[in-house]
Structure 1
Amino acid sequence: MDFDLPPALTDFLAELDAFIEKEIKPLEAKHPQYFDHRREWARTNWEADGTPAQEWEDLLAEMKRLADRAGLFRYALPEELGGRGASNLEMAVVREHLAAKGLGLHNDLQNESSIVANLPFAMIVHEFGTQEQKDDLIEGMITGTRGVAFALTEPDHGSDATWMETRAVRDGDHWVINGRKKWNSGVHSATHDVVFARTSGKDGDARGITAFVVPMDTPGLEVTSYDWTFNMPTDHANVSVDDVRVPHSAILGKEDEGLMIAQHFLHENRIRQAASSLGAAQYCIDRAVERARQRKTFGEPLSRKQAVQWPLVELHTEAEMVRGLVRKAAWTLDRAGDPTEVSEYVSMANYRANRLVCEAADRAIQVFGGEGYSRNQPFEHIYRHHRRYRITEGAEEIQIRKVAGTLFGFMGSRKKNA
């Protein structure tokens, strides 16, 4: 068994590092307020419901343009969309690599803007969309002229998406949708919202949910408020859907099979979240070790204190194990015909990596002491961002439940033997 990364991938990582030094670091240096202790304040338009400041989003857009011009941004997309067709395994390695470099314009945490784009929804439209949807949305989603938000969660339903209360009723060659959506991320700058609604079946059925691509200016679709969060700015909206009327052609994929689309989106995102969490955890561990070697107390370095050594050894060991798990999960996802076939591995990688980064950030704060608690250091920002990963894309309890379902034969490949 060979654990070495293929030369093409290591060459790409080197290409990323060179691009960051040449193009991104100078751009970042011109706007220090977004990356030092002022970052949360500078990035947020507090008078506009706490949404991202336009100047901050303009800077992110410039970073993306530079990365796209350099041929890096579309790495995960297929060649026909200008990409290199990177696998989930390759993307996991890249996401870990970028996050392990720490905070910066190259890989921002708040809205996951990166020099290597994470565009699972563009891939979904590419795979499941009609030709009209592809022509209208995909290139714009990549370049930023189109923004597509994801309306799955509801005020009373999150991980239990099959129990959603939003309904769509057929009316001739149109559908009329009614319901409420919560944590409708990205709506503040979206041109379209993908609204999931039950079109048939009963509560709890996986079949019978349909995804509709709804233009944001459609009558009845309204952003009612934004929820301020642990990590600001926010782009997490509450949206009302009142008698929203869309043509049958607005359906993304097949009628009643929208949950499959959601699963494709969630599985890829869960792996990439896990890889980012792993990279950020390793960054926190490495910085804490560096601090312990440099900081002297009572006449000797902190690194000689067993109380400092052992927690970091535990975290470092956990990071090595999680790295193997994340890469195996991505590898299996690349080979699966149906992503639900490998939910067990994806869920294990997701919940363990997301828990790890929170523990690593907390330990780094402790090792740095009062300085770690301050916003002079990035650890509080890393913790605040990654803490949400233990809830979003399926809470860690849901991930553990999925693993248990396979382990005990209630679902997945072992069900027939239960």
Structure 2
Amino acid sequence: MDFDLPQDLVDYLKELDDFIEREIKPLQAQDDNERFFDHRREYARTDFENGGLPRPEWEELLAKARKLADDAGHYRYAWPKEMGGKGGSQLAMAVIREHLAAKGLGLFNDLQTEHSIVGNNPFVLMFKEFATNWQYERYADKLLNGQMRTGFGLTEPNHGSDATHMETRAVRETRDGKPGWRIDGAKMWTTGMHVASHCMVFARTSGKDGDAAGITCFIVPKETPGFVIEEYLWTFNMPTDHPRISITNCWVPEDSYWGEIDKGLGLGQSFVHQNRIRQAASSLGAATFCIEESVKYARERKPFGKALSENQAIQWPLIELHTQCEMLRQLIRKTAWEMDKMDHKTIEKTISDKVSMCNYWANRLVCEAADRAMQVHGGIGYSRHKPFEHIYRHHRRYRITEGSEEIQMRKVGAYLFGYLGPRKQMFKDRESQGDQYVQPIPAPR
């Protein structure tokens, strides 16, 4: 086995570092833009008098950084080559996201808004994988030039992790002689709708509650009558761009869907698999940052005449976190490497449990690392003059979003016990042969 990273990827990390030093850091230093990253960051970013939305000047700064990255050929790195990207692999994206997150807070990579000089954009790959030919012809140009920005409307007020019981319904209805769909329901946490042009609205079109089939993904223009942003929900980490949406008597034309009728959950699985492995890599990078900053501080801080780092009470918790990072890194990279060798449907059937392992453990680990960094740094670590509270508040959300850690552990359990995944047939075969799985424990002599 060769665990060395490909040389072209190592070289690209160096190219990104040089780009950050040359282009991004000078922009961050201009016009007191540091206020978005130092102790003033939450206030500087948040328009508290406007529903808690991001301030326009904050989003304008992010747009400038993305433009610099796009002009330099970095932003669309993961996009397919035929769509103007470089076809970056899942492994490469995992390594890049860990690398950038390990640098700490900065304009080069701010995951509170999924902003990065190397864009995530899982919707682009999802579009390529699932769009029909006519859908590609209709939407591709708008998507690639930024005219089409979508929110992801899967979660509902009464239904989070279990999308198969969603209450949003779409029924065929003709209006003014045109065939179409009437959609009624509600969505929650539909991130980014304040700047989106459309929303991907998942709705049941056939079947019964609990069925995986029978759900369709509709592309609904934001200005469609009956599609209403009711409120933006304030969160642990501000600003917010996560609204509650009502959908009432909302009509769209017949062809306003993505992929195939009744097979919409496949799109959702594609989206979460890409996001989960990349979020895991980012959480790993942020955890590494917290550990390294704590080690550096413990070496420099000398209460009672000796360095904090000489105390085992300081060493051992950081040693355990460091050990977990080393092990997790290999699982993330192996899983991303395996994802590169198969299509989306095969990922769901074979290694979805590995993606979940990476994600739930990484998101838990970074919260523990940030908490430990606060403790090592003492009072200043608890303050906003250090980035640890921001890292904790941001990454804490990932233990809930994209599938809570309990739901992801449930997925791992289903694979482990053979209710899903490659082991399912093995357990069926054993049952048919009458195998005894549980052997009695011999009595002590």
For 1:327, the equivalent position in structure 2 comes to 333
Q: Deviations over 1:340-364 (max 9, x none)?
A: 0211100100011111100000000
Residues in 2 aligned to 1:72 and 1:155: alpha-carbon distance in whole angstroms: 37
For 1:381, the equivalent position in structure 2 comes to 390
Write the letter of the residue equivalent to 2:63: A
Q: CA deviation at 1:386?
A: 0.3
For 2:188, the equivalent position in structure 1 comes to 182
Q: Secondary structure in 2 aligned to 1:350?
A: helix
Task: Please tell me whether residue 195 in structure 1 is matched to residue 210 in structure 2.
Answer: no
Q: CA deviation at 1:144?
A: 3.8
Choose 338-347 or 22-31, whichever is displaced more.
338-347
Residues in 2 aligned to 1:146 and 1:408: alpha-carbon distance in whole angstroms: 43
Q: Secondary structure in 2 aligned to 1:332?
A: helix
Write the letter of the residue equivalent to 2:424: K
Q: CA deviation at 1:124?
A: 1.4
Residues in 2 aligned to 1:324 and 1:399: alpha-carbon distance in whole angstroms: 19
Shift in CA distance, 112/152, structure 1 to aligned 2, threshold 3 Å: same
For 2:425, the equivalent position in structure 1 comes to 416
User: Residue 164 of structure 2 contacts residue 209 of structure 2 at CA under 8 Å; is this kept in 1?
Assistant: yes
User: Residue 51 of structure 1 contacts residue 234 of structure 1 at CA under 8 Å; is this kept in 2?
Assistant: yes
Task: Please tell me whether residue 340 in structure 1 is matched to residue 348 in structure 2.
Answer: yes
Shift in CA distance, 136/325, structure 1 to aligned 2, threshold 3 Å: same
Residues in 2 aligned to 1:137 and 1:372: alpha-carbon distance in whole angstroms: 47
For 2:115, the equivalent position in structure 1 comes to 113
State the structure with more CA Rg: 2
For 1:150, the equivalent position in structure 2 comes to 152
Shift in CA distance, 43/135, structure 1 to aligned 2, threshold 3 Å: farther
Shift in CA distance, 45/136, structure 1 to aligned 2, threshold 3 Å: farther
Residues in 2 aligned to 1:382 and 1:264: alpha-carbon distance in whole angstroms: 27
Q: CA deviation at 1:171?
A: 1.7
Shift in CA distance, 285/108, structure 1 to aligned 2, threshold 3 Å: same
Task: Please tell me whether residue 281 in structure 1 is matched to residue 281 in structure 2.
Answer: no
Shift in CA distance, 170/161, structure 1 to aligned 2, threshold 3 Å: same
For 1:260, the equivalent position in structure 2 comes to 266
User: Residue 157 of structure 1 contacts residue 164 of structure 1 at CA under 8 Å; is this kept in 2?
Assistant: yes
Q: CA deviation at 1:136?
A: 5.4
Shift in CA distance, 226/168, structure 1 to aligned 2, threshold 3 Å: same
- Kindly report the root-mean-square deviation, in angstroms, between the aligned alpha carbons of the 2 structures: 1.2
Q: CA deviation at 1:247?
A: 1.1
Task: Please tell me whether residue 243 in structure 1 is matched to residue 249 in structure 2.
Answer: yes
Residues in 2 aligned to 1:90 and 1:298: alpha-carbon distance in whole angstroms: 46
For 1:27, the equivalent position in structure 2 comes to 27
User: Residue 193 of structure 2 contacts residue 243 of structure 2 at CA under 8 Å; is this kept in 1?
Assistant: yes
Sequence identity of aligned pairs in percent? Answer: 60
Residues in 2 aligned to 1:152 and 1:343: alpha-carbon distance in whole angstroms: 19
Q: Deviations over 1:267-315 (max 9, x none)?
A: 0000000000000000000000000000001100000000000000000
Alignment of 1:302-313 (within 5 A): 302-313=308-319
Paired residues, number: 418
Shift in CA distance, 289/139, structure 1 to aligned 2, threshold 3 Å: farther
Shift in CA distance, 381/176, structure 1 to aligned 2, threshold 3 Å: same
Q: CA deviation at 1:138?
A: 4.3
Q: Deviations over 1:371-405 (max 9, x none)?
A: 00000000000000000000000000011000000
Write the letter of the residue equivalent to 1:64: R
Shift in CA distance, 88/36, structure 1 to aligned 2, threshold 3 Å: same
Q: Secondary structure in 2 aligned to 1:186?
A: coil
User: Residue 126 of structure 1 contacts residue 138 of structure 1 at CA under 8 Å; is this kept in 2?
Assistant: no
For 2:364, the equivalent position in structure 1 comes to 355
Shift in CA distance, 137/32, structure 1 to aligned 2, threshold 3 Å: farther
Q: Secondary structure in 2 aligned to 1:409?
A: coil
For 1:64, the equivalent position in structure 2 comes to 66
Residues in 2 aligned to 1:96 and 1:142: alpha-carbon distance in whole angstroms: 26
Shift in CA distance, 151/376, structure 1 to aligned 2, threshold 3 Å: same
User: Residue 191 of structure 1 contacts residue 215 of structure 1 at CA under 8 Å; is this kept in 2?
Assistant: yes
Unaligned runs of 5+ in 2: 428-445
User: Residue 83 of structure 2 contacts residue 144 of structure 2 at CA under 8 Å; is this kept in 1?
Assistant: no
For 1:212, the equivalent position in structure 2 comes to 218
TM-score (norm 1): 0.98
Q: CA deviation at 1:14?
A: 0.5
User: Residue 50 of structure 1 contacts residue 234 of structure 1 at CA under 8 Å; is this kept in 2?
Assistant: yes
Residues in 2 aligned to 1:358 and 1:239: alpha-carbon distance in whole angstroms: 30
TM-score (norm 2): 0.92
For 2:3, the equivalent position in structure 1 comes to 3
